[in-house]
Structure 1
Amino acid sequence: MEGDILQQQVEGDILQQVDGDDITNVLDVLKTDLPQSVTIYNFIKVHLDWKEKNPESDFKLYCPNGSWKNGTVVCIVECGWYGIAVHTLEPSCQELVNALTHTQLIQWGKKGLFFPFVHERFYTAVKKVLTSKVEGEIVSTHNTTYWMHQDRAAELQATWPGEVYVSPLDISHAAIVNASWPHQSSDSLQYVQQLIELSYSAGLFLNNGDGKPVCWALQADYGIGLLHTTDPHLRKGYARILMKYMFNMLGKRGLAVNLCVVDGNLPSHRLFHSLGCEEVCKCVFLTVNN
């Protein structure tokens, strides 16, 4: 990919790639900031898992001058969108600001530039850098981050009535999932297909139905997402069933549950509170309309 070529050509950049066993060291530092770091922590683990399944997966992790001691990380990923995921434990955020300001690795004019789940601790600093780098409109989508420890998630049990069943999604369901996603774009179908192929998903189906799910959710790189129930089946508790199912599945695999819920989505906020999720922080998804 073009991004790969650019990143390989830049030498002496303030951001140095971290790979191999050193990624474990990065995760160990981020772990000290849990649950505040749960989204970036799981983001890295999910992409490492995807890269094992698909070596061509375009994910790279960088630290300023190759040092992870302050938990300052910049991840660059292309998977249907051009994402820059960041985090830092440094209170002043200056190390992160310097890295974003001076690096030549980020293609600021690239279509689909996107900073997901920017933590409230450094949102203002990151947006200031972004504003100085791009010409397009910056759209800010405000969210609340929720989490549940993996041990607690593994204890949840999902049951469902006899007229339905739960099963993983397959690639044939990608179009219907994408069509209902409020954040769909010209490239989002590719992203949904990748989620179904590489990650965890669940759909709730009618026993006497047409083989299409009536409720579904997927484990995205930013957490459980794309939760949707079709209109004829709202208020039947199907979303709650699927969330218990996915929480249990992730917990048993040693993954903490994390979710980003858009402010104003009151039904989802009520659902995750009722399931026992804890609010961690506010975060913002920054999208550049180039």
Structure 2
Amino acid sequence: MSAKLEAIDLSVLQKFQELFKQNWPKYCQEFYCLDNFIEFLKKQPEIKNLQLYTLSTKQARDEGLFVIVDRYQLFAGSLNNTNGLLETALDLLDWSKGLKCSSIPSRHIEALDKVVAAKKLNLVFRDPTDLFYMKAEEALQLKVEPPAGFVLKSLSVEDAPLVNEEWPNHHLGSLYFIERQILLCVSVGLYNVDTQELVAWCIRLQGGYLGALQVKDSQKRRGFGSLVTREISYRLASQGHDVMALVGHSNAPSAGMFRKLGFQVIDQCLWLRTEPTEGDFVWPEGE
């Protein structure tokens, strides 16, 4: 009998996550992706538009094979990238509405590319990124004090419209995404004490990476990007987490900042978005 997609729950994600601790940090992408979704489900067990799958074979479960479709974003991982099982799982997904394949580890890119080619899917983009990594014990040394007149604190949901508007990657449905990440993940904002203006920020994304790192144009070249990166890295390390960030190959300033802080490139990840095969991309308002 051929393998089928099989829905899984929180308890299975927790079992899978344990598998990715081996040969650290080889599988840190999968480990922290699952870590975030596990925490999401603990806080909001009924998250809308979230599907969790593995294949209906013992081997797939033994290898922690997972495919997560979070609204229109796809995350995938497995201990094994040579047996074709992940390719099978991706092939069984519904691609008709288009999917944003997010932070796919380099060892799984071939499987994704084969499915995209076999289904003759058109691409909106295909962007490789470098995986910058720092151990928790090193990130604990990044603690920094804000400059006079400013304060560092977690973002609030009220900040989401500004964060979304300033984010170069904002898109249909991204305001909801930013709101959810602020509610469920570690975040840092730098605020002017007198005016309470938010001038720089960073949020942990679903895949476990630092993201949405932004400084207001009027406040650039003051080191604020590095400041919020140091603070959010310290906060994650204080919870026992190593720190990861993804930087596009053309983004030399961000790559330089992470290297200066002591991050090292240990892998590459791919971001790939497919066009819908039926009509235009749509998403319910407010979701």
Bin the TM-score by the shorter chain. Answer: 0.7 to 0.9
Question: What residue in structure 2 maps to residue 157 of structure 1?
Answer: 143
Question: What residue in structure 2 maps to residue 136 of structure 1?
Answer: 122
Residue 124 to residue 159, structure 1, CA distance change in 2 (3 Å): same
Provide the C-alpha distance between the structure 2 equivalents of 1:201 and 1:225, rounded to a whole number of angstroms: 10
Does residue 219 in structure 1 map to residue 204 in structure 2? yes
Provide the C-alpha distance between the structure 2 equivalents of 1:44 and 1:286, rounded to a whole number of angstroms: 20
Contact 2:164 2:170 in 1 (8 A): yes
Q: How does 1:44-193 map to 2 (within 5 A)?
A: 44-57=34-47, 58-64=49-55, 65=57, 67-78=60-71, 82-101=72-91, 103=92, 106-111=93-98, 113-133=99-119, 135-193=121-179
CA apart distance, 1:27: 1.2
CA apart distance, 1:39: 2.2
Query: Alignment partner of 1:121: what SS?
Result: helix
Residue 151 to residue 172, structure 1, CA distance change in 2 (3 Å): same
Q: Deviations over 1:8-36 (max 9, x none)?
A: xxxx8623233344333311221214323
CA apart distance, 1:218: 0.6
CA apart distance, 1:97: 1.3
Query: Alignment partner of 2:110: what SS?
Result: helix
Query: Alignment partner of 1:183: what SS?
Result: coil
Question: What residue in structure 2 maps to residue 8 of structure 1?
Answer: none
Contact 1:35 1:147 in 2 (8 A): no
Query: Alignment partner of 2:107: what SS?
Result: coil
Q: Deviations over 1:63-100 (max 9, x none)?
A: 3225332343222222xxx1221123324251211222
Question: What residue in structure 2 maps to residue 232 of structure 1?
Answer: 218
Provide the C-alpha distance between the structure 2 equivalents of 1:199 and 1:153, rounded to a whole number of angstroms: 18
Q: How does 1:16-31 map to 2 (within 5 A)?
A: 16-31=6-21
Matched residues, number: 271
TM-score by length of 1: 0.86
Q: Which runs of 5+ in 1 are unaligned?
A: 1-11
What is the alpha-carbon root mean square deviation over aligned residues?
2.0
Q: Which runs of 5+ in 2 are unaligned?
A: 277-287
Question: What residue in structure 2 maps to residue 4 of structure 1?
Answer: none
Provide the C-alpha distance between the structure 2 equivalents of 1:20 and 1:186, rounded to a whole number of angstroms: 28
Q: Deviations over 1:131-171 (max 9, x none)?
A: 32354334101111111122322332111211211111111
TM-score by length of 2: 0.87
Does residue 36 in structure 1 map to residue 26 in structure 2? yes
Query: Alignment partner of 1:122: what SS?
Result: helix
Residue 149 to residue 60, structure 1, CA distance change in 2 (3 Å): farther
Contact 1:109 1:134 in 2 (8 A): no
What letter corresponds to residue 61 of structure 1 in structure 2? L
What letter corresponds to residue 27 of structure 2 in structure 1? S
Does residue 265 in structure 1 map to residue 251 in structure 2? yes
